[in-house]
Chains A and B, each alone.
Chain A
């Protein structure tokens, strides 16, 4: 299985993603520079976290115009699986590949800690290895992670079960106290209508080894056709 990790100027989780995908999950991985025109031959494309273009104007606002984003769009339109993590999520929203937007955290602080998220829909390529309602522990590290969208979009997201992850308490219950950034409906991750594009603020690539405190991220990074036998 081949994975591409897209590198923008200012990406800073690209190496984490590369390490998790290659050394832990056994993918064949390539970095793909933002100026590249195509993504042919990959099974999974990851847009990593970081501060592409310094977050100037808005996080992801400049990166969405990079040449590689046309390739990401084409890849996704042909059913390819795309995961945007943190800044990658912001870029996918700016590019219109995912609904909504990420705004400044409600407390204005950059939050860097482990949080709990609940699997809301386990019938998707990204969540098929989880139980519905399973609680995962993953790290977040962002200043602009408060997910918002208009009411019509929110209704559609919930009706189609595109909300894949919500921030929650360790026991899986929902409350604003466990919603670190004030996201609407505690949304931590959403998929597109065809469930082949996922964006999430928590970092699964930093939760693939016990040494780092959690291995819950592994199963998010495994696409539907991937054999779990090769996980080390």
Chain B
């Protein structure tokens, strides 16, 4: 398999959906990592930096069946994000 995301088998091409999931702390919560990076950037002279928030980026490859958005949504709710402290968004790419 190459990095194109396409599985070639028995002469058929299946599109393999990929999802990119972005998870960040809710804006109302203090992001200690973001604050520290913000301070470091200021010390380096990047005085235009007004806010830094740190999050997680997760790439997921899916089998080409079912609705990928429905699956990713369920994954975010059950495991990938903690709804008490985090928010998430995702994009599904068919390559």
What is the interface of chain A, defined by CB distance below 8 A to chain B? Answer: 57-58, 61, 65, 93-94, 99-101, 103-108, 146, 148-150, 182
Annotate B38-71 by CB proximity to A: 1 below 8 A, 0 otherwise: 0000000000000000001000000000000000
Q: In chain A, what residue has the closest Cβ to B79?
A: A61
Q: In chain B, what residue has the closest Cβ to A105?
A: B32
Docked CA distance A182–B33 (Å): 13
Annotate B2-41 by CB proximity to A: 1 below 8 A, 0 otherwise: 0000000000000000000000010001101100100000
Docked CA distance A182–B82 (Å): 20
> B92 within 8 Å of A by Cβ?
no
Judging by beta carbons under 8 Å apart, are A149 and B84 in contact?
yes
Q: In chain A, what residue has the closest Cβ to B54?
A: A104
Docked CA distance A199–B70 (Å): 34
**A–B Cβ pairs within 8 angstroms, 18 of them:** A57-B56, A58-B82, A61-B79, A61-B82, A99-B84, A100-B84, A101-B84, A101-B85, A103-B29, A103-B32, A104-B32, A105-B32, A106-B32, A108-B36, A148-B85, A149-B84, A182-B30, A182-B32
Docked CA distance A182–B80 (Å): 25
Q: In chain B, what residue has the closest Cβ to A146?
A: B32
Docked CA distance A100–B82 (Å): 10
Contact with A57, one of B30, B36, B80 (Cβ below 8 angstroms): B80
Known contacts A58-B82, A61-B82, A108-B32; 20 further A-B pairs (Cβ under 8 A): A57-B56, A57-B80, A61-B79, A93-B84, A100-B84, A101-B82, A101-B84, A103-B25, A103-B85, A104-B33, A105-B32, A106-B30, A106-B32, A107-B32, A108-B33, A108-B36, A148-B84, A149-B84, A150-B84, A182-B32
Q: In chain B, what residue has the closest Cβ to A62?
A: B79
Residues of B contacting A106 in the complex (Cβ-Cβ under 8 angstroms):
30, 32
Docked CA distance A104–B84 (Å): 14
Q: In chain B, what residue has the closest Cβ to A93?
A: B84
A-B pairs, top 8 by smallest CB distance, nearest first, are: A101-B84, A101-B85, A104-B32, A106-B32, A108-B32, A108-B36, A101-B82, A58-B82
Docked CA distance A104–B35 (Å): 12
Q: In chain B, what residue has the closest Cβ to A102?
A: B85
Docked CA distance A108–B32 (Å): 7
Residues of B contacting A93 in the complex (Cβ-Cβ under 8 angstroms):
84
Judging by beta carbons under 8 Å apart, are B30 and A94 in contact?
no
* Minimum Cβ distance to chain A for residue B81 (Å): 9
Docked CA distance A26–B33 (Å): 43
Interface core residue of A57, A99, A103, A182 (most chain B CB under 10 Å)? A103
Q: In chain B, what residue has the closest Cβ to A151?
A: B28
* Minimum Cβ distance to chain B for residue A35 (Å): 19
* Minimum Cβ distance to chain B for residue A160 (Å): 18
Q: In chain A, what residue has the closest Cβ to B83?
A: A101
Docked CA distance A160–B25 (Å): 27
